[in-house]
Amino acid sequence: MLSSYRLGDLVLLGLTEDEKSELINENPNSIGTEYILSQKLSNNIDLITNIVLKHIEKNIHLLPKDIENCTVIHLRLGDVVSGNEWHEKLKRPISVNYLKKIAPNNKTYIIGKCFFCKSSSTNYDICTNNSNQYLKNVINNFDAEHFDGGNADIDLCCAVKSKYFIQGRGFFSKLIIEIRKNLNLLNIETSVHD
């Protein structure tokens, strides 16, 4: 349930050397590890975009076949849904009514799963139950499909490859926006935290 894999924080905020080492040890074949090891050459959005594009090409068979014609909504689930820490409260989920106002009317995939890091609140059961309820509510309102690529890298690839992307809370979602902007793709931006 706990994860050291904070890709958005890595690229947009920076992680400590200890956090980078932990990420590499726990996720050796990930986009994040490749980014850390390549950082000596470059440290910008172009680098992460190129890494993600290579990852998409290598894993295209894992993505929905119709993804280029669909909308992807990222839902930040887990700690932010019902956590008690200030950084969790800042990133509460986007209301379904607001999502309905901003979403295009086409097939929709939802990405996101319960996420907890070391600084998360420990009321895991409450956060997980409320996350599942929120996810189910969004899926029902959009007649959407929850895409779970098995890890954050495949979910990120799905979001980058989609026709439209609706930003969720947190820096993972912000990273997807920055990569898509770099590729001149269509985004529907919300605030990282408001």
Three-class DSSP labels, 50-97: HHHHHHHHHHHHHCCCCHHHCEEEECCEEHHHHCCCHHHHCCCCCCHH
The reported pLDDT for the residue numbered 57 is: 98
Residue with structure tokens 């950084």? 87
Average pLDDT over residues 88-115: 93
Q: What is the pLDDT of residue 139?
A: 97
For residue 21, which amino acid is it? Answer: S
31 vs 11: CA distance, rounded Å: 11
49's torsion region: left (phi>0), alpha (psi -120 to 50) or beta? alpha
Task: Pinpoint the residues of the chain covered by CATH 3.40.50.
Answer: 67-188
- Percent of the chain clearing pLDDT 70 (strictly above): 95
Alpha helix locations (H) across the chain?
Answer: 7-8, 17-26, 31-38, 45-59, 79-82, 86-89, 96-102, 124-142, 152-161, 171-182
pLDDT at 11 over 80: yes
State yes or no: pLDDT of 78 exceeds 50: yes
pTM for the full model? 0.90
Class of domain 67-188: alpha beta
Write the pLDDT tens digit of every residue in 130-178: 999 999 999 999 999 999 999 999 999 999 999 999 999 989 999 999 9
